[in-house]
Structures are given as structure tokens and as C-alpha cells.
Amino acid sequence: MILEASHVSCRYGGFIAVDDVSLALGDAEILGIAGTNGAGKSTLFAAIAGQQTPSAGRIVFAGDDVTQLAPYQRARRGLVRTFQVPREFKSLTVHENLMAAGPNPEGEQLFSALVGTPARRRRERALSEQADGILEFLNLARVRDIEARNLSGGQKKLVELGRVLMRDPRCILLDEPFAGVNPVLIDEICSHVLTLNARGIAFIVIEHHLQALKTLAMRLIVMDRGILLAQGDPQEVLDDPRVQEAYMGGVA
């Protein structure tokens, strides 16, 4: 298993957003998480990625307990996430957005950053080539030099994915990648995720678009009011009367 969340709870005063949830993710698995608004999906994501410290439980990634690590420390280990609302640098070009997400060597000195040492120039060339390769893969090369503010919603979602790919991740947490995206780009994003998964990257995907999620996920979890309501084969989970009642008001 690349990732394990054990008995995770997240409390805000007397309100329990996530209540004793456990899950495990295989080394090259795509796990889907569904649920209504307020089910606890986003809070669980934040606990796994490091934006939220659990009130109880622990997060283990690649064999290491990362429960108390900051998001950037988890990212250095290969655990990264996107956000439902893209957080691109609006005034930077698409290429510059990816470059900004590239890793910086720990301990780089201010002087070398200012004057541009040969080692720094070599690193920037390598990052630029990496960014161009990712843009080509994501079919974004044609908008390489366009400011990110001018992209469509779907293109911004692809830039989010490209930014996390700059970290050479082992596991990507995708937060509603299809929200506000046209059907053509939904199919394209699905294709990219499946290709990356075939290359060995594991995914957890939160999504309301059930048909797209069913296409992607090897296993599906449904949450309701902070608890794990059902999990297993995506179609079997979606056919579960409890899930239909909680998630779709009893409508299949």
C-alpha cells in the first residue's frame, strides 16, 4: 500500500466532520470518493494532504507516518493534491506556472538565486524541458505562453494537474477534477489519469460526476455525514440502497 489512513477523525469544536474513517490505497490504484456536500470528503482530503491536522488517527505514506508533516514535506515525498478551485498564478504564463511548481533544492542560497550560477541555470533548463514535456502530454503546448487568467475552466484544471506532475509524484489527490469542465475535456482528463496510473501513479479522486468517476475508479468509497457508508466495486456501491438514499435521494 502506498497510502493508509487509519481511524482518522477531524473535529471542529463539537462538530465531527470526519468520524473514525480508515482507507488504504494500493501502489497503482485509482480510488474514488463520493458523497453529498458536507459528507466529509474535502476534510478527509485535507487531512491526507496536510492542510488539516486530524483530531485522531494517523496518515502513513510509503511506509512513513506523515500525520504531523506539512503539505510541502508530504509533496517532497511524492504525495500531492489539486484543488476544486484551481489556484493558478493568473499573471504568469502556463509554462511559468509549471516552472513555479518545480522543486527547489533545499538550502539554495539567495546569492545563487540572484546571480544565476551555472548549476542554477542547468536546473532551470531541466525544469523548462520537464514543463514542456508535461504540457505536450496534457495537450497544452498550444497555450504555453498564454497567461493563465485567459484559460478555460477545463484548461485550468489541466494546469493544476501539470503543476503537481512537476513534483514527480507517487500519489495524486484530485479534488473534483471535472467540476465546471466541458464533456470533451472530461474525457481528456480521464485519459490522462488512466495513462499516468498505468505509469505507476496512484490516485484518489473526489468527484460528483458519478459516471466519470465510475469510469476511472477501481474502487469506490461513499461518505455520508463524516462516516464511511460503503466501499467496493463502483457499480455495486452505486447500486447500494443506502448510497442511493444518502447520495441521490433514493434515485438510481
Of the CA atoms within 13 Å of residue 176, those in its CB half-sphere come to 14
The full set of domain ranges for the chain reads 3-88+169-248, 89-150
Q: Give the C-alpha distances (Å, rounded to integers) separating 154 from 25, 181, 209, 231.
A: 27, 5, 14, 29
**Gap between the Cα atoms of 59 and 24, Å rounded:** 10
Number of neighbours of residue 139 by Cβ within 10 angstroms: 14
Average pLDDT value for residue range 133-141? 97
Q: Answer for the pair 229, 245: CB distance below 8 angstroms, yes or no.
A: no
Which residue did the predictor score with more confidence, 36 or 158?
Answer: 158
Which grid coordinates are listed for 45? 482530503
Q: Return left, alpha or beta for 72; rule: phi > 0 is left, psi -120 to 50 is alpha, else beta.
A: alpha
Q: What pLDDT digit, counting tens, does each position of 223-237 carry?
A: 999 999 999 999 999
pLDDT at residue 189, as a whole number? 92
Residue 105 in this model has a pLDDT that exceeds 70: no
**Gap between the Cα atoms of 245 and 252, Å rounded:** 9
How many helices (H) and strands (E) the chain has is answered by: 10, 10
Which grid coordinates are listed for 20? 473514525
Report how far apart the first and last C-alpha atoms of the chain are (Å, whole number).
Answer: 32
Which residue did the predictor score with more confidence, 199 or 37?
Answer: 199
Residue 108 in this model has a pLDDT that exceeds 70: no
Q: Is the dihedral of CA 97, 187, 34, 74 positive or negative?
A: negative
Query: How confident is residue 251, by pLDDT bands cut at 50, 70 and 90?
Result: very low
pLDDT at residue 250, as a whole number? 44
Residue 248 in this model has a pLDDT that exceeds 80: no
Kindly state the helix (H) or strand (E) to which residue 239 belongs, with its residue range.
helix 234-239
63-99: b or e for each residue (b if 16 or more CB lie within 10 Å)? Answer: eeebbebebeebbebbbbbbbbebebbeeebbbbbbb
Number of neighbours of residue 115 by Cβ within 10 angstroms: 9
Average pLDDT value for residue range 189-218? 92
Average pLDDT value for residue range 63-69? 96
Starting at the edge strand found earlier in the chain, the sheet holding 219-224 runs: 79-81, 171-175, 202-206, 30-34, 219-224, 227-232
* Percent share of the chain, pLDDT over 90: 71
Phi, psi of 58 (to 5 degrees): -150, 155
Which of the residue ranges 59-68, 124-133, 149-158, 208-217 would you say has the lowest mean pLDDT? Answer: 208-217
Class of domain 3-88+169-248 as given by CATH: alpha beta
